[in-house]
Structure 1
Amino acid sequence: MASKKGNRIIIKLRSTESAHTYTTTKNRKNDPNRLELRRYDPTLRRHVIYRETK
């Protein structure tokens, strides 16, 4: 029997203003496009936009 590949994948979120990254998971079926979230950047000590990278 073939194993089922899940919809959840691990992605990296990279800051638009520094080199800081977060890793998280996303559901391919619910979010087919690239994510863009506003998260805290500890190097800049403020909230900035993080974009999904490969």
Structure 2
Amino acid sequence: MARKTDVRSAVTLRSSAGTGTAYRTTKNRRNTPDRLVMRKYDPKVRGVVEFHETR
């Protein structure tokens, strides 16, 4: 169970290709306060695209 003072928070990464594909991951809010951007595989595009953090 997550504590109220937990540093790691759950984030959703959405595809920049507009396909609606999403990944769930966690990030450390102290080390990376900016929005997360990762290159991951999008099965609908059948390729690697950028995924941006949504809030």
Query: Shared fold by TM > 0.5?
Result: yes
Number of residues paired by the alignment? Answer: 52
TM-score (norm 1): 0.89
Instruction: Give unmatched runs, 5+ long, in structure 2.
Output: none
Query: Over the residues paired in the alignment, what is the CA RMSD in angstroms?
Result: 1.2
What corresponds to 1:34 in structure 2?
A: 35
What corresponds to 2:12 in structure 1?
A: 12
Please identify the structure whose Cα radius of gyration is greater. Answer: 1
CA distance in 1, matches of 2:4, 2:54: 25
Instruction: Give unmatched runs, 5+ long, in structure 1.
Output: none
CA distance in 2, matches of 1:4, 1:19: 30
Moved over 3 A (4+): none
TM-score (norm 2): 0.88
Identity, % of aligned positions: 44
